[in-house]
């Protein structure tokens, strides 16, 4: 993936307190809006590939719907097993109303 930011939608596409899956360079990415702050991590759970975008978002914590693993959407760090590996995270930039992502 290049060093360029990729537009993934408008701010209105990601209401506060919600998560949405987008695709960046062939990778599924979870975009979360936590009280107006946007965060992005890989969307497939590092445990067995569960769809994090179908899980629950509580504050900055997302819970995988398959086995209950939890990640911090601000960093991608594992908060609760069974996953052991952190999620890759993405840099988020807001340009006007556009939401742009770049892999960190």
**Residue 90 and residue 47: Cα distance in Å, rounded?**
19
Confidence band, pLDDT 50/70/90 cuts, at residue 3: confident
Residues 6+ apart with CB under 8 A from 24: 1, 6, 8, 90, 101, 103
Q: What is the pLDDT of residue 60?
A: 98
Q: Is the pLDDT of residue 19 over 50?
A: yes
pLDDT at 2: 56
Q: What percent of the chain has pLDDT over 70?
A: 98
Question: Over the stretch 68-81, which tens digit does the pLDDT of each residue have?
Answer: 999 999 999 999 99
Q: Which domains does the chain have, with CATH numbers?
A: 6-103 (2.102.10.10)
The overall pTM is greater than 0.85 = yes
Report the pLDDT value the prediction gives residue 54, as an integer from 0 to 100.
97
pLDDT per position as a tens digit, 77-104: 999 999 999 999 999 999 999 999 998 8
CA-based radius of gyration for the chain: 13
Sign of CA dihedral 3, 89, 53, 14: negative
Burial of 13 (0-12, 13-18, 19+ CB in 10 A): middle
pLDDT band at 1 (very low <50, low <70, confident <90, very high): very low
């Amino acid at each position: 993936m290049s060093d360029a930011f990729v537009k993934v939608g408008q701010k209105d596409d990601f209401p506060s307190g919600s998560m949405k899956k987008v695709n960046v360079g062939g990778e599924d990415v979870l975009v979360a809006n936590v009280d107006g702050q946007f965060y992005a991590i890989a969307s497939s759970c590092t445990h067995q590939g569960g769809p994090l975008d179908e899980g629950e978002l509580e504050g900055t914590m997302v819970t995988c719907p398959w086995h209950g693993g939890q990640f911090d959407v601000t960093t991608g760090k594992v908060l609760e097993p069974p996953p052991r590996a952190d999620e890759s995270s993405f840099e988020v930039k807001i340009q006007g109303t556009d939401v742009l992502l770049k892999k960190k």
